[in-house]
Amino acid sequence: MKKYSVMIGLFLLIGSGMWSCSDSGEEPVVEIPDDPDKEEDNIRLKAKFDIGAAVTNRELSSAQYANTLRTHYSQITAEFEMKMAHIWKGENNYDWAAADEMVNFAQTNNMKVHGHTLVWYSSFPNWFKSANYDSAAFESRVKTYIERVVQRYKGKVVSWDVANEIFNDNGTLRSENCPVYQTFRDPIAFYGRCFAYARAIDPDAKLFYNDYNVVLASGKRGAMRQLVNRFQADGYPIDGLGDQFHYMVSTNRNTIRNGLTDMAGSGLLIHISELDIRVNVNREDDYVYLPSEQAKHAEAYRDIVSFYESIPQNQKFAITTWGVADNGTWLRDWWHPKEYPLLFDDSFQKKRAYNGFLEGLN
């Protein structure tokens, strides 16, 4: 009798965790968890465009991280492993190890790679900057660098940010600490030739110009429009524009929507390329990510995704988040330690922000 009593008790204990009953005597309701293999529960499966994440090799070594990534994302961007300073160690010295590891992970897991970034003012190696090359020598070496990198990953990297952050928010060219500006009389023509060098090596790769604050800064959008017009008039290839989308829950939604519509007016592919949304907007030391804050966060993700869905389908390239889980965000160093900007929490559990993203998808 004791044996059967134990078995009945276990049955009741297990059952109590699976069923919830109201005091009114209504039928019990089965609580069904999200199924990552169902389209309605998974952003990768529901989206009609690629869902990307910025990753590092250190994070990819975590089984939990890697499993979350391959389950919910279809594309990766190297956070730093594919930037110039991390690859180009000397004029004829290339360190491919980290970039190769990342690209191999993507191929093994049937994921795409967005290359980030070929030319960025902040990633020219110190040895290169100290050489004080004239414009001809400068361009010759950068051309060789672009050709070698794009050739190595031809057919493995589907797209490149060829140039990154060349404009100020008011639309003027970035001059401070920018080797290109300091070397060339016509920096835009130099950047155009960089796009051409990449296209000549891999005609199938999509080529992007990427920047931040694009949807907020009309001056920058105007400069980007002029760049596109100049490229097209002079025969330089360009396929898309990226806005990093490092914004806050308090960022004006109408401004975001109108700016994104304006970007799409270029007719090019549009990439939300580094999305994260800050919630601790005032950098408060006693900030708590309360349910009310989580709800605001979910609404922000829902709105941004829905704005993106409103642009023409043939211009939707991808939405990429700058990280996967909150414990890996750069914002805890740059902004505030109490920041929770991504779709997964520190334990890789879906947040309400993830559901907001889902709701924004068509």
* The one catalytic residue among 27, 274, 309, 359: 274
* Whether residue 40 lies in the annotated active site: no
Instruction: Give the per-residue SS3 of the chain.
Output: CHHHHHHHHHHHHHHHHHEECCCCCCCCEECCCCCCCCHHHCHHHHCCCEEEEEECHHHHCCHHHHHHHHHHCCEEEECCCCCHHHHEEECCEECCHHHHHHHHHHHHCCCEEEEEEEEEHHHCCHHHHCCCCCHHHHHHHHHHHHHHHHHHCCCCCCEEEEEECCECCCCCECCCCCHHHHHCCCHHHHHHHHHHHHHHHCCCCEEEEEECCCCCCHHHHHHHHHHHHHHHHHCCCCCEEEECCEEECCCCHHHHHHHHHHHHCCCCEEEEEEEEEECCCCCCCCCCCCHHHHHHHHHHHHHHHHHHHCCCHHHEEEEEECCCEHHHCCHHHHCCCCCCCCCECCCCCECHHHHHHHHHCC
Residues annotated as catalytic are 274
